[in-house]
Each structure stands twice: as structure tokens, then as C-alpha cells.
Amino acid sequence: MTVVQEDSSTTVPSHPEEMKSVFDLRVGKYITLQGSARITPAGVISTGIAVAAVALAFGYLSASTRRRRY
């Protein structure tokens, strides 16, 4: 009996609104990079919140360093 496993990229996504990207990047003659990414709408929102929190923290730090110099 032979068991064949399907590649996870060809199966049905675990989330119906899952977004997927696959890319090949060639650098010069001999270097090829391959990559893929998957994200859901909840992941997009979470990433946006995290980026906003980091930007707010950096803004606070830069404002506090400007006050100390004078």
C-alpha cells in the first residue's frame, strides 16, 4: 500500500480568506532565493496594531530625548 501525501500548498487553506504569495528572486547567475508567505485578515490587523505601537513608542522616545538636550 502506497501512501501519498499532498503538498500543503495545493490543499484547501485552513482559513477561507487566507492570502498567499510565492516568489522567486534571482541574484546574479548562481543565486536563486525562493520564498512564500501566508496571512489572514486578522494577521493584517494584528500587524498594523503592532507597527502602530512601535511607532508610538519611538515617537515618545525621540520626543523625550529632544527635551533633555536643552
Beta strand extents in the chain (DSSP E only): 19-27, 31-39
Q: Are 51 and 31 in contact (CB under 8 A)?
A: no
**For residue 19, what pLDDT is reported?**
86
**For residue 69, what pLDDT is reported?**
57
Q: pLDDT tens track of the chain, all 70 residues? A: 555 555 555 666 566 788 888 999 999 889 999 999 888 989 999 999 999 999 999 999 988 887 665 5
Query: For the chain, what's the residue count?
Result: 70
pTM across the whole model? 0.54
